[in-house]
Amino acid sequence: MTANGSTSTGTDQTSADVETPLRKLVGEKTAKALASHLDLHTAGDLLYHFPRRYDERGEHTDIRSLEVGEQVTVLGQVQRTAVRPMRQRRGNLLEVTVGDGSGGVLTLTFFGNQAWRERDLKPGRWGMFAGKVTEFRGKRQLNGPEYVLLGDGSGDGEPGSGGGEASEEIEEFAGALIPVYPAAAAVPTWVIARCVRVVVDTVTPPEDPLPATLRATRNLVGLATALREIHRPASKEELYRARHRLKWDEAFALQLTLVQRKHRASAWPAQPRPRREDGLLTAFDARLPYELTAGQRAVGEEVAADLGTAHPMHRLLQGEVGSGKTVCALRAMLQVVDAGGQAALLAPTEVLAAQHYRGMLDLLGPLGRAGELDGDPDGTRLALVTGSLGAAARRRALETVAAGEAGIVVGTHALLYEGVDFADLGLVVVDEQHRFGVEQRDALRAKAEQPPHVLVMTATPIPRTVAMTVYGDLEISTLSQLPRGRSPIASHVVPAAEKPAYLDRAWRRLREEVAAGHQAYVVCPRIGDQSATAEEVGAIGEDGRRPPLAVAEVAPLLADGPLHGLRIGVLHGRLPADEKDSVMRTFAAGELDVLVATTVIEVGVDVPNATVMIVLDADRFGVSQLHQLRGRVGRGSAAGLCLLVTEAVEETPARERLDAVASTTDGFRLAELDLEQRREGDVLGATQSGRRSHLRLLSLLRDSELIRDARVEAVALVEEDPELDRHPALAASVAALVDEERAEYLEKG
């Protein structure tokens, strides 16, 4: 392309392929803009930069739905123009009103004397207009938008005029369906469309990696056809089959990667750790103060069978908050200790590691204190390894681990460091594993002579298609029952802006629970600055919203206000480790009435006497996060209460999300809701590796059936050709679509 966007060819385009740099196809200036603003460098990058939607004249683009602050591209028809002198500076203001056939209108404003624009933007002309939505006197508008006009008309070639050649190109390129691309202010969608047109017309398409038999069985069009039709569909039918084929590529590559990894892992050697009938596990079961649920017993059988094999277990244990996952993990650890090995539990925070350690000590009793005066000589020892241990305590802990005296080791990232050596590491349990990177998990595995068995735990319920796609190389066990004695949790939204009296009532309700002998949590989105004044806490930012409420600012305001006289503690991630542990111990001992905290309490914190939680600025948290948080109350015999305080008004997405959380305690239903509201890339981990991801179209929510079909085909193909040796194009395609770093992220364990 030329500097203004017209096509320029600097090389022989007949030899161009997907690896050809864009500068050789569209010119230096345009290629530089595509690279710097959209991270598009090669012809293949641009081919896989798919439109995010398709507009039809008079359809689909509902101007009424535009939100202030959005960067948008709209398709509209000029209705009228008006020129008036500007009051505060010289020159005229051109106002152009456009509509989209839905009844919505948008004002375009252009400053300065630009008579050519008035001639160009005649009533009746259709165009695509891009810019940031603002509001002036109740009317939505775009100030100085970029635009391209469609149909007849002769612009004079000025940037943004869209006349002449550009209009004809767009018309010929788009036909009835006009693609709208993910764009940038410096590279609007029509510039991308013209560049795509050059690439589609000149680049030799890549070899189709899907076996012909699979394409025929699944009724899939060829790759070259799909890539052409997704950019230049002549009809909705063409567009559907192009998208369907390209989604298949994404799903199939993911499933092949996961199935291959599962296949390879099944061939690794591991030390079998079969169950002993007269060992620690049997003694532990006998001293448990409650009966295991049917779900816990079933999971126990699955895990016991895996541990007894000569190949490493690779299992995900998911269950609602409080469903008893830790007991299942402890029973697995005891089975390994019975078989002469050691087990390590890796926790994401020191608070959680310390809580796991104390909880296991309590459950094991004398069985966990071998070598001590009141310990069972046939028991084992527990060690806690965290970064905040003093030198002497750390040395003692590491000696017991290295000697094999500590059968169970609980720790944080500190377990991964050099100098932490195990005598015989047989099982790694990873709690809330999404908080750990691949390298960290590998570092712990490397401390074993042979690949250890791995049990991954999560309290975040996982929709089936997410489990199949993200955790697809793990066997999955699910705990759906809650143990006896768990109390119900009532949840309510407190609309603080609309009904301030409701917030006053929330604080009174908290005081009532404390007066009844219970304890409470108050959760804030931020840590904050303790020196902030009350005025600064409520200050409104440039975006019209105040900053999220913070622990350091809210705690003193509560102490001086609605919670005056109560014993209030503060907990957040910036506190020194020993102080965090001290605060948690004090709260657990009942010496604090209220704990004002961040989400550091989200997982694992277990204080049965805590019955009420007030989440401030609840709309700033995700669905799964809120579900995890409220699982901290109702853990004893008294019912739990969770109050979600928000300034979000009714019928906004944020308020609807909170209403949904309040309406159900079904974590799996909420996980589906969370999936509906999140970007797919967040779920698939597209940003985990920090590299470009080619996953563009696959929706875990809408494409569940396609994902299941891809899984079936992937299993069949890997069984027949484990390393894809007979399908080199497919192997190359998988490697390109799911690079190795990303594949390790998907490995999950």
Both tokens assigned to 250: 């994404």
Determine the pLDDT at residue 163. Answer: 41
Determine the pLDDT at residue 741. Answer: 43
DSSP conformation class of 596? E
Q: Buried b vs exposed e over 580-599: b needs ≥16 C-beta within 10 Å? A: bbebbeebbeeebbbbbbbb
Those residues whose C-beta lies under 8 Å from the C-beta of residue 579, and which sit 6 or more positions away, are none
d(CA 724, CA 263): 12
d(CA 106, CA 74): 10
Both tokens assigned to 675: 């999936």
Name the β-bridge partners of 128: 75, 148
d(CA 469, CA 742): 13
pTM confidence score: 0.64
Give the pLDDT band (50/70/90) at residue 675. low
Those residues whose C-beta lies under 8 Å from the C-beta of residue 152, and which sit 6 or more positions away, are 167
The whole-number average pLDDT for the span 577-581 is 82
Most confident range (mean pLDDT) of 165-174, 303-312, 352-361, 544-553 is 303-312
Determine the pLDDT at residue 749. Answer: 37
Which run of H or E residues covers position 597?
Answer: strand 594-597
List pLDDT tens digits, range 97-141: 998 777 778 999 888 777 788 888 889 888 888 888 888 877 888
Give the pLDDT band (50/70/90) at residue 695. low
- Res. 292: pLDDT tops 70: yes
3-state SS, residue 259: helix
287: left (phi over 0), alpha (psi -120 to 50) or beta: alpha
- Res. 206: pLDDT tops 90: no
Residue scoring higher pLDDT (209 or 684) = 209
Direct distance between the N- and C-terminal alpha carbons of the chain, in angstroms, rounded to an integer = 48
Both tokens assigned to 741: 């770093």
Most confident range (mean pLDDT) of 359-363, 580-584, 599-603 is 359-363
- 43-57, 390-404, 468-482, 564-578: lowest mean pLDDT where? 468-482
Both tokens assigned to 98: 């456009």
Among 134, 139, 9, CA closest to 71: 134
Determine the pLDDT at residue 531. Answer: 54
- Res. 739: pLDDT tops 60: no
SS3 content of the chain, % helix, strand, coil (to 5): 40, 20, 40
Those residues whose C-beta lies under 8 Å from the C-beta of residue 207, and which sit 6 or more positions away, are 223, 729
Which run of H or E residues covers position 215?
Answer: helix 212-218
Which run of H or E residues covers position 264?
Answer: helix 236-267
Amino acid at 467: A
Q: Are 353 and 410 in contact, with CB atoms under 8 Å apart?
A: yes
In 462-576, DSSP assigns E strands to 475-479, 489-495, 519-523, 568-571
List pLDDT tens digits, range 54-79: 876 544 457 777 878 777 778 888 99
3-state SS, residue 88: coil
Query: What CATH class does 53-180 carry?
Result: mainly beta
Q: Are 642 and 615 in contact, with CB atoms under 8 Å apart?
A: yes
Backbone angles phi, psi at 586, to 5 degrees: -65, -45
3-state SS, residue 17: coil
Among 349, 331, 320, 353, CA closest to 458: 320
- 336-345, 540-549, 603-612: lowest mean pLDDT where? 540-549
CATH 3.40.50.300 fits 489-664, yes or no: yes
Among 461, 417, 465, 459, CA closest to 439: 417
d(CA 325, CA 2): 62
Q: Are 329 and 296 in contact, with CB atoms under 8 Å apart?
A: no
- Res. 673: pLDDT tops 80: no
Query: What CATH class does 290-479 carry?
Result: alpha beta
Determine the pLDDT at residue 230. Answer: 95
Which run of H or E residues covers position 467?
Answer: helix 464-470
Residue scoring higher pLDDT (637 or 432) = 637
Most confident range (mean pLDDT) of 64-78, 227-241, 260-274, 462-476 is 227-241
Name the β-bridge partners of 456: 316, 430
- Res. 582: pLDDT tops 60: yes
Determine the pLDDT at residue 579. Answer: 87
- 29-43, 457-471, 529-543: lowest mean pLDDT where? 529-543
706: left (phi over 0), alpha (psi -120 to 50) or beta: alpha
Long-range Cβ contact pairs of 552-560 (< 8 A, separation 24 or more): 552/527, 552/528, 553/528, 553/529, 554/522, 554/524, 554/528, 554/596, 554/616, 555/596, 556/530, 558/507, 558/522, 558/594, 558/596
- Res. 532: pLDDT tops 60: no
Place of tokens 């003692």: 396
d(CA 738, CA 323): 35
Alpha carbon of residue 295 to chain centroid? 28
Sequence spans of domains, the chain:
53-180, 290-479, 489-664
Give the pLDDT band (50/70/90) at residue 676. low
- Res. 467: pLDDT tops 80: no
List pLDDT tens digits, range 2-35: 333 344 444 444 578 889 999 999 999 999 999 9
Q: Are 399 and 421 in contact, with CB atoms under 8 Å apart?
A: no
d(CA 1, CA 27): 5
Residue scoring higher pLDDT (242 or 52) = 242
Determine the pLDDT at residue 41. Answer: 93
Among 449, 396, 404, CA closest to 423: 404
Both tokens assigned to 130: 């891009």
Determine the pLDDT at residue 330. Answer: 96
Q: In this structure, how many other beta carbons lie within 10 angstroms of the beta carbon of residue 405?
A: 15
- Res. 155: pLDDT tops 70: no
3-state SS, residue 712: helix
3-state SS, residue 151: coil
Residue scoring higher pLDDT (89 or 183) = 183
Q: In this structure, how many other beta carbons lie within 10 angstroms of the beta carbon of residue 450?
A: 15
Determine the pLDDT at residue 591. Answer: 95
Q: Are 619 and 677 in contact, with CB atoms under 8 Å apart?
A: no
One fold for both 53-180 and 290-479? no
User: Taken in order 6, 11, 17, 18, is the CA torsion positive or negative?
Assistant: negative
Helices 223-231 and 236-267, axial angle in degrees (round to 10):
130
d(CA 426, CA 626): 35
DSSP conformation class of 38? H
- Res. 86: pLDDT tops 70: yes
Determine the pLDDT at residue 364. Answer: 94
DSSP letters, 663-698, are H---HHHHHHHHHHHS-HHHHHTTTTTSS-----S-
Those residues whose C-beta lies under 8 Å from the C-beta of residue 216, and which sit 6 or more positions away, are none
- Res. 506: pLDDT tops 90: yes
Both tokens assigned to 276: 């002993």
d(CA 196, CA 176): 17
- Res. 685: pLDDT tops 70: no
Amino acid at 30: T
Give the pLDDT band (50/70/90) at residue 146. confident
Q: Where are the alpha helices (DSSP H) in 589-666?
A: 623-630, 653-663
The whole-number average pLDDT for the span 189-217 is 91
- Res. 290: pLDDT tops 50: yes
Give the C-alpha distances (Å, rounded to integers) separating 166 from 110, 185, 229, 644.
Answer: 21, 18, 21, 53
The whole-number average pLDDT for the span 527-549 is 61
List pLDDT tens digits, range 507-516: 999 999 999 9
DSSP conformation class of 353? H
Q: In this structure, how many other beta carbons lie within 10 angstroms of the beta carbon of residue 533?
A: 9
Give the pLDDT band (50/70/90) at residue 297. very high
d(CA 367, CA 352): 22
Across all residues in the chain, what is the average pLDDT? 82
Determine the pLDDT at residue 343. Answer: 95
Q: Buried b vs exposed e over 356-368: b needs ≥16 C-beta within 10 Å? A: bbbbbbebbeebb
